[in-house]
């Protein structure tokens, strides 16, 4: 594994070998005339860093290169203006005022999940999440799907948002629950999908709507994810900040509480934020034998 001193470098949660680091250093040093994106594409081609669909992991690779450059391990060409993945964004579309909605979910049925499509819908989704979700909108890492939550009665209206994205690279509680060794984790990580955003608008007070939306998502996410990314997920995961929320809707939708995180972020490799904001981890198997399938290397 590649180290600087005693530090191990990771790409998408996997240790980078010394041979791979030598290739990275050589390519970056020899190709100073090309952009950071072109460097990332080149390295992904050479090192075969690809998604299951065959597409290059260029976004993740560029982020990895920039992390190495910040630590003084590489000198990259000047970056172009733009938002890095994982950064909080300000995305605002004109938002219609949502009326106060209260009652039981049956009174507003049917509830629908609508995949977000096109630039206008993407802008609306980002704007709702940025304005009303306590974490705001961030450019997600890796693969992701987004949905609007809509009720149809007394008229069609969007009442919330969901996002599913690539899994956390390492979570001790999850990995222990699955009984993963290194081989099983490497083989099966991409068969887990993370529910990374869940929002009901603040004017929506519909009893059981949250658990209903989660149940609808659990019923369709495997098909939607496989169609888009050529991998069929077996398990959903999510982190709940129990200083803010009890996680009641996840329990009602049959998600399983399996433990807590340390509070480290995705890129906190130096344990600088250990314990800063621990979250409760919930999992939802999408098939009856999901855990046993994921546990195999």
How many CB atoms are located within 10 Å of the residue 285 CB?
Answer: 18
pLDDT at 265: 52
Q: What is the mean pLDDT of residues 140-159?
A: 90
pLDDT at 93: 55
pLDDT at 176: 92
Task: Quickly state the pLDDT bin for 108 (edges 50, 70, 90).
Answer: very high
State how far the Cα of 112 lies from the Cα of 3, in Å rounded to an integer.
49
pLDDT at 4: 47
Task: Quickly state the pLDDT bin for 1 (edges 50, 70, 90).
Answer: very low
Task: Quickly state the pLDDT bin for 82 (edges 50, 70, 90).
Answer: low
State pLDDT tens for residues 170-209: 889 999 999 988 788 888 998 999 999 999 999 999 999 9
Q: Average pLDDT of the chain?
A: 85
Residue positions counted in the chain? 297
Which of 76-90, 259-273, 278-292 has the largest mean confidence?
Answer: 278-292
State how far the Cα of 5 lies from the Cα of 212, in Å rounded to an integer.
50
Q: Give helix 36-47 / helix 18-30 axis angle, nearest 10°.
A: 140
The residues, any chain, with a CB within 8 Å of residue 73's CB and separated by 6 or more, are 4
pLDDT at 140: 77
Question: What are the structural domains of the chain?
Answer: 3-70 (no CATH), 88-294 (3.40.630.30)
Does the pLDDT at position 103 exceed 80? yes
State pLDDT tens for residues 50-64: 888 788 888 888 888
Q: What is the mean pLDDT of residues 258-268?
A: 66
State how far the Cα of 45 lies from the Cα of 168, in Å rounded to an integer.
24
State how far the Cα of 79 lies from the Cα of 82, in Å rounded to an integer.
9
Q: What is the mean pLDDT of residues 258-269?
A: 64
pLDDT at 39: 87
| DSSP for 59-70, written as a single string | HHHHHHHHHHHH
Q: What is the mean pLDDT of residues 81-85?
A: 53
* Beta pairing partners, 163: 146, 197
State how far the Cα of 240 lies from the Cα of 246, in Å rounded to an integer.
8
State pLDDT tens for residues 235-252: 999 999 988 988 999 999
Helix (H) or strand (E) holding 173: helix 172-178
State how far the Cα of 76 lies from the Cα of 241, in Å rounded to an integer.
37
Does the pLDDT at position 267 exceed 50? no
pLDDT at 92: 56
State how far the Cα of 219 lies from the Cα of 213, in Å rounded to an integer.
10
Task: Quickly state the pLDDT bin for 142 (edges 50, 70, 90).
Answer: confident
Return the SS3 of 40. helix
292 φψ region: left (φ > 0), alpha (ψ -120 to 50), beta (else)? alpha
């Amino acid at each position: 594994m590649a180290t600087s001193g005693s530090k191990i470098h990771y790409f998408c949660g996997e240790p980078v070998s010394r041979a791979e680091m030598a290739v990275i250093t050589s390519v970056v040093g020899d190709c100073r005339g090309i952009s950071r994106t072109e460097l990332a594409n080149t390295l992904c081609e050479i090192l075969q860093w690809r998604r299951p669909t065959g597409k290059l992991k260029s976004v993740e690779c560029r982020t990895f290169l920039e992390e190495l450059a910040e630590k003084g391990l590489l000198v990259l060409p000047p970056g172009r203006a733009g938002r890095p993945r994982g950064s909080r964004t300000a995305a605002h579309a004109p938002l219609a005022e949502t009326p106060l909605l209260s009652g039981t979910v049956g009174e507003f049925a049917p509830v629908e999940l609508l995949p977000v499509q096109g630039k206008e819908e993407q802008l609306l989704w980002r704007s709702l999440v940025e304005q009303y979700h306590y974490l705001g909108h961030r450019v997600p890492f890796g693969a992701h799907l987004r949905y609007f939550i809509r009720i149809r009665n007394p008229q069609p209206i969007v009442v919330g948002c969901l996002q599913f994205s690539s899994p956390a690279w390492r979570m001790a509680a999850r990995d222990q629950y699955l009984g993963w060794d290194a081989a099983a984790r490497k083989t099966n990580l991409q068969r887990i999908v993370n529910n990374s955003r869940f929002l009901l608008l603040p004017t929506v007070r519909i009893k059981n709507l949250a658990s209903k939306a989660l149940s609808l998502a659990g019923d369709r996410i495997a098909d939607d994810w496989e169609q888009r990314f050529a991998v069929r997920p077996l398990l959903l995961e999510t982190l709940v900040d129990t200083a803010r929320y009890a996680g009641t809707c996840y329990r009602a939708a049959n998600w399983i509480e399996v433990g807590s995180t340390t509070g480290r972020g995705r890129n906190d490799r130096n344990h600088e934020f250990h314990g800063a904001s621990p979250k409760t981890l919930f999992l939802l198997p999408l098939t009856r034998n999901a855990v046993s399938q994921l546990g195999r290397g």
